[in-house]
């Protein structure tokens, strides 16, 4: 998104009591990364750390202690009293275990002295009680141990809670006794490493002989909703599940689409400024903020960074958003589909790769060689997304995203790529073979040397595409707002790594029989495009025709979470995760188990909450309304009014009857679900039976909302939740 609409709000800053401090003065003041290490560590210790980072060597005890000492001195000066190992278990949230810095020293027999102590081993390894985190069956109880290990590639940071206590957070990975990944970060780190190796090998074949490393880059645009906290607190569904389970859409909805271009409400601006300030202090480079399409929906986008840091930063940003929102009396909703009938929230993951010279491999560049490299890399990504479309679609599936993509009001998840007209045209020409015979001259004639213009090809951006080329990067848009980006990004990195290896092998064969390297590369590009054009689609992804067309093209169609889980359980579809060393078979299986368990649990909570809402709020409201209507009816003399009231009563009664009968069916289904112990069967029951019944129940409840007097309806309505702060 562009920063265009920011300027008009800058005048709001004038009202502040303190003059704004330049961001550069406090950016990252709560972080301790390599820069701080260089500044504060003895030279040998710093050099050893760099070697560790580059070659994966073990740190000596002395160095580890020196690093820990420098970190502790800094953290205590910043007011931190505790430290924690911060990690990302497979539930998709983060977890932390806090310890204070204090330690007891025996000065002599009778005297105890409290000192601050933090050693290298406390920094490097922790052992949280892992039994409360899901392992997907990987750990038997006798070895229910989990370990956290410091990830020195991501800066340490200090977080202040609501009452001002400060904790030093150490980014860590989380693994089991035999080294199995119990978290989302470990596979991500493995995937960026493999990607670098495979990309270097491929680039060398293209002629970039001096390339040393390739970095995956990520900029995650985060969408969210803000609801007034007092209003949200009166919605048990928001409190329990993060989304509304009942609620009739407002007449206005997002029909007018005026929110997108409108000014940000003052109360929200104040939240955003506070949020950004916190994130800047934590070293998160937030760049843009703006309204989104739906009322009360907003977006925040950072400047892209190296993948593992950007991933940590997105997780940290989500936590910070919730915390700062509470301070501003908002509830921040990161759910993918908090409200029916209006847009849900996604997290557009802008993905690219750059070499060690800082050149973006997906930037068409300025020379014919860079352009050719760009075309080759883009073709590889197209192949990767086509080959692994099913697992990419599954990697973004979650209970919430299931409603945003694939629910009854949303399009199914079918992964396809939108390239934009310019790139499409270039690839079409190459695919027709017009460039394969050619020399560099002909490639230039083709327009390859003018590719830089692609970045201006914004006119026909396709908002419905789940995976789009946007000038100098691909944007994976199907990712859900609440997702831990490490999951889909690991899969995408692995898919591209796998395809890079395949492409390198093919290119070697072509090179052996083609005199010119450029010609060989163009041949590879042509073959890749011809073989994988089925994944390219520039039409409306939300249309029914696309579904039919996708079927003809044999693209995987993921209609529900059940379909997604099946892909994780498909040995053939997941084989590349093993060959790229991103996950082992055991780890894949554990993810499959954890996801299913999580899906079943969150669905059970949703359905139980729906039944409770109906019983506690909707039924009593209809009963009162009926009582009133019957009372009025009783005394009416006028015949036409009598019959009109009769019709009104009949409508209410029929809504009530529907409501009660669907509620009964849902309760019966839930009972059956409770008797089932097989997770696969449970998922199937939830998808095929419980969810459709809950949808019918909701429809009846939402009808009732429109038939019952507002004063009798105690649940806050959509208009109160969505249009609340636009009035302030």
Binding residues for Mg ion, per CB under 5 A? 1, 221, 348
CA–CA separation, 467 and 491 (whole Å): 14
DSSP E strands: which ranges in 343-455? 347-355, 417-418
Q: Residue 436 or residue 496: which is nearer to ligand ADP going by CB?
A: 496
| b/e code 172-194 from CB counts within 10 Å (16+ = b) | bbbbbeeebbbbbbbbbbbbbbb
Q: Residue 23 or residue 303: which is nearer to ligand ADP going by CB?
A: 303
DSSP-assigned beta bridge partners for residue 113 = 105
Please state the closest distance from residue 382 (CB atom) to Mg ion, in A.
22
Q: Residue 175 or residue 351: which is nearer to ligand ADP going by CB?
A: 351
Q: Residue 158 or residue 301: which is nearer to ligand ADP going by CB?
A: 301
Please state the closest distance from residue 219 (CB atom) to ligand ADP, in A.
3
Q: Which does 239 bind (CB under 5 to 8 A by kind): ligand ADP, Mg ion, none?
A: none
Helix, strand, coil percent values for the chain (each to nearest 5)? 55, 15, 30
Q: Which does 414 bind (CB under 5 to 8 A by kind): Mg ion, ligand ADP, none?
A: none
Instruction: State which residue has the least CB distance to ligand ADP.
Output: 219
Characterise 341 by phi-psi region: left (phi > 0), alpha (psi -120 to 50), beta (else). Answer: left
| b/e code 238-268 from CB counts within 10 Å (16+ = b) | bebbbbbbbbbbbeebbeeeebbeeebbebb
The total number of residues written for the chain in this structure: 728
CA–CA separation, 252 and 295 (whole Å): 10
Q: Residue 1 or residue 444: which is nearer to Mg ion going by CB?
A: 1
Q: Which does 473 bind (CB under 5 to 8 A by kind): Mg ion, ligand ADP, none?
A: ligand ADP
Please state the closest distance from residue 358 (CB atom) to ligand ADP, in A.
10
Please state the closest distance from residue 310 (CB atom) to Mg ion, in A.
16
Q: Residue 344 or residue 471: which is nearer to ligand ADP going by CB?
A: 471
Please state the closest distance from residue 535 (CB atom) to Mg ion, in A.
22
Q: Which does 467 bind (CB under 5 to 8 A by kind): Mg ion, ligand ADP, none?
A: none
Q: What 8-state DSSP symbol labels residue 213?
A: -
Place of tokens 């003809």: 552
Quote the tokens at residue 322: 């919730």
Please state the closest distance from residue 257 (CB atom) to Mg ion, in A.
15
Closest CA to 309 of 397, 192, 477, 211: 192
Q: Residue 4 or residue 129: which is nearer to ligand ADP going by CB?
A: 4
CA–CA separation, 36 and 212 (whole Å): 25
Reduced to 3 states (helix: H, G, I; strand: E, B; else coil), residue 305 is: strand
Q: Which does 172 bind (CB under 5 to 8 A by kind): Mg ion, ligand ADP, none?
A: none
Q: Which does 302 bind (CB under 5 to 8 A by kind): Mg ion, ligand ADP, none?
A: ligand ADP
Q: Residue 377 or residue 405: which is nearer to ligand ADP going by CB?
A: 377
Place of tokens 């009133």: 628
CA dist 114 to 75, 99, 117, 122, Å? 18, 15, 9, 17
List of residues contacting ligand ADP (CB under 6 A): 1-2, 217-219, 221, 301-304, 350-352, 360, 470, 472-473
Please state the closest distance from residue 316 (CB atom) to ligand ADP, in A.
15
CA–CA separation, 429 and 609 (whole Å): 56
Phi, psi of 164 (to 5 degrees): 90, 0
Q: Residue 261 or residue 630: which is nearer to ligand ADP going by CB?
A: 261
Please, are residues 530 and 431 in contact by the beta-carbon 8 Å criterion?
Answer: yes
Q: Which does 248 bind (CB under 5 to 8 A by kind): ligand ADP, Mg ion, none?
A: none
Q: Which does 304 bind (CB under 5 to 8 A by kind): ligand ADP, Mg ion, none?
A: ligand ADP
Please state the closest distance from residue 475 (CB atom) to ligand ADP, in A.
7
Please state the closest distance from residue 402 (CB atom) to Mg ion, in A.
21
Q: Which does 691 bind (CB under 5 to 8 A by kind): ligand ADP, Mg ion, none?
A: none
CA–CA separation, 344 and 254 (whole Å): 12
Phi, psi of 582 (to 5 degrees): -85, -40
Please state the closest distance from residue 221 (CB atom) to Mg ion, in A.
5
Q: Which does 360 bind (CB under 5 to 8 A by kind): Mg ion, ligand ADP, none?
A: ligand ADP
Q: Residue 130 or residue 301: which is nearer to ligand ADP going by CB?
A: 301
Q: Residue 292 or residue 606: which is nearer to Mg ion going by CB?
A: 292
Please state the closest distance from residue 470 (CB atom) to ligand ADP, in A.
4
Q: Which does 174 bind (CB under 5 to 8 A by kind): Mg ion, ligand ADP, none?
A: none
């Amino acid at each position: 998104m562009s920063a265009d609409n920011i300027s008009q709000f800058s005048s709001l800053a004038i009202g502040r009591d303190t003059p704004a401090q330049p961001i550069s003065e406090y950016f990252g003041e709560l972080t301790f990364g390599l820069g701080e290490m260089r500044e504060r560590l003895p030279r040998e210790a710093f050099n050893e750390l760099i070697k560790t980072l580059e070659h994966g060597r073990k740190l000596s005890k002395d160095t580890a202690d020196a690093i820990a000492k420098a970190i502790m001195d800094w953290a205590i000066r910043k007011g931190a009293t505790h430290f924690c190992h911060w990690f990302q278990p497979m539930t998709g949230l983060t977890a932390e275990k806090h310890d204070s810095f204090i330690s007891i020293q025996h000065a002599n027999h009778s005297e105890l002295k409290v000192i601050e102590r933090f050693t290298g081993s406390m920094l490097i390894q922790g052992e949280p009680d892992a039994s409360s985190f899901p392992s997907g069956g990987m750990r038997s109880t006798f070895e229910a141990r989990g370990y956290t290990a410091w990830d020195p590639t991501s800066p340490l940071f200090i977080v202040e809670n609501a009452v001002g206590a400060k904790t030093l957070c150490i980014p860590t990975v989380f693994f089991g006794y035999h080294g199995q990944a119990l978290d989302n970060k470990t596979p991500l780190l493995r995937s960026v490493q493999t990607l670098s190796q495979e990309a270097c090998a491929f680039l060398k074949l293209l002629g970039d002989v001096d390339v040393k490393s390739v970095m995956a880059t990520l900029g995650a645009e985060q969408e969210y909703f803000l609801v007034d906290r007092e209003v949200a607190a009166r919605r048990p569904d928001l409190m329990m599940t993060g989304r509304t389970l009942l609620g009739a859409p407002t007449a206005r909805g997002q029909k007018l689409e005026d929110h997108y271009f409108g000014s940000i409400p003052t109360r929200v601006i104040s939240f955003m400024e506070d949020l950004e300030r916190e994130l800047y202090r934590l070293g998160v480079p937030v760049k843009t903020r703006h309204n989104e399409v739906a009322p009360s929906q907003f977006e925040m986008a950072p400047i892209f960074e190296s993948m593992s840091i950007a991933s940590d930063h997105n997780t940290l940003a989500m936590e910070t958003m919730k915390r700062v929102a509470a301070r501003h009396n908002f509830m921040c909703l990161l759910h993918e589909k908090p409200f029916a009938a209006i847009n849900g929230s996604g997290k557009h993951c802008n993905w690219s790769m750059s070499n060690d010279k800082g050149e973006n491999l997906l930037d068409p560049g300025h020379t014919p060689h860079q352009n050719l490299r760009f075309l080759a890399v883009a073709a590889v990504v197209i192949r990767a997304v086509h080959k692994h479309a099913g697992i990419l679609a599954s990697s973004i599936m979650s209970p919430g995203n299931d409603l945003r993509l694939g629910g009854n009001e949303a399009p199914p998840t079918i992964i396809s790529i939108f390239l934009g007209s310019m790139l499409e045209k270039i690839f079409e020409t190459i695919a027709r073979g017009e460039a394969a015979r050619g020399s560099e001259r002909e490639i230039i004639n083709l327009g390859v040397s003018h590719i830089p213009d692609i970045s201006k090809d914004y006119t026909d951006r396709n908002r419905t595409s789940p995976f789009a080329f946007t000038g100098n990067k691909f944007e994976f848009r199907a990712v859900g707002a609440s997702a831990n980006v490490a999951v889909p990004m690991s899969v995408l990195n692995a898919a591209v790594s796998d395809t890079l290896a395949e492409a390198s092998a093919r290119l070697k064969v072509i090179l052996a029989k083609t005199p010119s390297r450029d010609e060989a590369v163009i041949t590879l590009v042509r073959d890749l495009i011809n073989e994988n054009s089925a994944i390219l689609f520039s039409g409306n992804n939300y249309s029914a025709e696309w579904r039919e067309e996708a079927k003809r093209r044999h693209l995987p169609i993921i209609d529900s979470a059940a379909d997604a889980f099946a892909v994780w359980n498909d040995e053939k579809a997941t084989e590349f995760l093993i060959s790229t060393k991103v996950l082992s078979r055991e780890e894949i299986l554990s993810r499959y188990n954890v996801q299913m368990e999580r899906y079943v649990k969150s669905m059970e909570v949703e359905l139980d909450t729906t039944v409770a809402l109906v019983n506690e709020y909707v039924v009593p409201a209809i009963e009162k309304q009926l009582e009133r209507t019957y009372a009025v009816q009783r005394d009416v003399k006028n015949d036409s009014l009598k019959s009109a009231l009769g019709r009104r009563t009949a409508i209410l009664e029929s809504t009530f009857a529907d409501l009660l009968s669907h509620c009964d069916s849902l309760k019966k289904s839930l009972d059956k679900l409770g008797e089932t112990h097989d997770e696969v069967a449970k998922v199937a029951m939830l998808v095929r039976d419980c969810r459709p019944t809950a949808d019918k129940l909701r429809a009846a409840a939402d009808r009732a909302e429109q038939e019952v007097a507002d004063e009798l309806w105690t649940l806050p309505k959509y208009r109160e939740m969505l249009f609340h702060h636009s009035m302030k």
